[in-house]
Amino acid sequence: MLLKVKYGPRIDYRFCDGCKICYDDCPMDVFGWDDEKRMPTVAYPYECHFCGICELGCPKIAIDVELPIHAKVDVGIYPEK
């Protein structure tokens, strides 16, 4: 069963060039690899520790790491009403 989560890394495939940096550098192995499309996938978003290595290392700025709501509240970012 796949777990649908609303946080973790998001890849914007309009910008991704398949360089594999996110796949190779992620310390938590959040990313998978689609051999057919030659592109990374977010295989295990629930294992993301929000370190930002993928987001900071992406040369095409194609990754955005979405924090879960509890992490946002911890740093003072509150949901809009």
Domains of the chain: 8-74 (3.30.70.20)
> What's the mean pLDDT in 4-33?
95
Computed on alpha carbons and rounded to an integer, the radius of gyration of the chain in Å comes to 13
> What's the mean pLDDT in 5-17?
93
> What's the mean pLDDT in 11-32?
98
Residue 78 has pLDDT above 70, yes or no: yes
Higher pLDDT, 71 or 60: 60
Q: What is the pLDDT of residue 81?
A: 64
Strand partners of residue 63: 11
Percent helix, strand, coil in the chain, to 5, is 25, 20, 55
